[in-house]
Amino acid sequence: MQDQLRQSLRYGRVLPQAEVLGAWCCYPSVEMSFDEDTPDVDLSKIEDGLYLGNLSAAVDENTLKTYRISHVLTVESNQLPANVTSLPGMAFLYIEAFDVRGEDLLSHFQEAVDFIEDGQRKGSVLVHCYFGVSRSATLVTCFLMKKYGITLSKALKRVRSKRWCASPNAGFLAQLKLYQTMGQHLDTTNGQYRLYLLQAAATSLSRSIERKMDDRYSGIIQPEPHNFSPSQVAYKCRGCRCPLVGKTAVLPHCAGETPEWTDARWSGPLDGVKLCDQGIFTLPSQWMMETEKPIEGKLLCPRCRAKVGSYNWYAGCCCPCQAKISPAFYFIPSKLDKCM
């Protein structure tokens, strides 16, 4: 598995997400070596002040000088060597990412856009990954979508007209589609994006040795519902009437169907969509995170300590309607009173 991961990074092969996460746990770092397999310098001018290229272009000082590169955005599994990042008068942004379908680039889109904009104002930007094909092409496509207010199709066509090999993997394409759906910004009220963040947060937990979530996903944690006004509360504990779930925390799903973040239905109004009314699933709230068991366990009412449900970041759980929800924060309907 470790050899497979090393080869996938070097030769652009895409492994199933489960295999990659398994390899990550036992093999957290793959050293980048510069040997006979390292590609030649290769970069393409996308527009004035913006270049898309490979790792070799980013570490070649002559190339950086020739193209007057002032900013380098690296989206790779390893950072650039110190002899490059210490070059005077240059700015660097490093985004750690593997070229696998389950990798999260969407949450980095805004910082990438800001960095490229700054680079174009002050000089020229090189955006690169290992081959300059998938990860870096994704960020350049995202930038063009945002800058010109154009569709994914038009932005990617523009990139490929300058660099024919540009080819974001299927997961990155889905993220770009969601970005387009949200109007080229990250909308935390969008139901489809909330499902995406929940999946990304679970992946973040699985990669962390300390079982801590990356700060990028802290926004998915809902505020304490006992601070809400009555009109904002969706469910209370039946035993002690403690507010447990805010209206914005409820995650709807259709009977018998696992809600997927790639399903555009969750981005729009749900009028006319037949939703399940047998199980109650939500986003995590702050009171649920105050536990010694970060991955799975019981949900206890913070006031009376009665069991009101359960949670599982990895395995999830099944609704009575047979829909599999993962990650899952599930409430037992008989333990709650509905306020909506």
Task: Read off the pLDDT of residues 287-340 as tens digits, 9 standing for 90 and up.
Answer: 988 776 789 999 999 999 999 999 999 999 999 999 999 999 999 999 999 997
271 lies in the same domain as 220: yes
How high is the pLDDT of residue 88? 96
How high is the pLDDT of residue 37? 59
Structure tokens at 83: 């002899």
DSSP state letter for 27: -
Q: Which of 25, 26, 129, 319 is catalytic?
A: 129
How many H-runs (helices) and E-runs (strands) does the chain carry?
11, 14
How high is the pLDDT of residue 257? 95
What is the chain's length? 340
How high is the pLDDT of residue 207? 85
Distances (CA, A) of 123 to 9, 42, 50, 91, 110: 30, 20, 9, 10, 20
Please report, for the domain that includes residue 103, its CATH number. 3.90.190.10
Q: Cα–Cα distance between 118 and 71 in angstroms, integer?
A: 9
| 3-state DSSP assignment of residue 241 | coil
In which domain, by residue range, is 302 found? Answer: 216-338
Per-residue pLDDT of the chain (340 residues; tens, 9 = 90+): 334 444 443 433 334 433 333 333 333 333 344 444 567 999 999 999 999 999 999 999 999 999 999 999 999 999 999 999 999 999 999 999 999 999 999 999 999 999 999 999 999 999 999 999 999 999 999 999 999 999 999 999 999 999 999 999 999 999 999 999 999 999 999 999 999 999 999 999 888 887 788 889 988 999 888 788 888 999 999 999 999 999 999 999 999 999 999 999 999 999 889 999 999 999 999 898 877 678 999 999 999 999 999 999 999 999 999 999 999 999 999 999 999 7
Asked if the structure places residue 165 within a domain, the reply is yes
24 lies in the same domain as 155: yes
Residue after which a domain boundary falls, among 148, 165, 186: 186
The CA-CA-CA angle for residues 122, 125, 127, to 5°, reads: 155
Asked if the structure places residue 168 within a domain, the reply is yes
23 lies in the same domain as 113: yes
226 lies in the same domain as 91: no
How high is the pLDDT of residue 210? 78
Q: Cα–Cα distance between 116 and 147 in angstroms, integer?
A: 10
What is the domain count for the chain?
2
273 lies in the same domain as 138: no
How high is the pLDDT of residue 325? 95
Tell me, yes or no, if 129 is annotated catalytic.
yes
Assess contact for 216 and 110: CB atoms under 8 A.
Answer: no
How high is the pLDDT of residue 318? 94
- This prediction has a pTM of 0.86
139 lies in the same domain as 14: yes
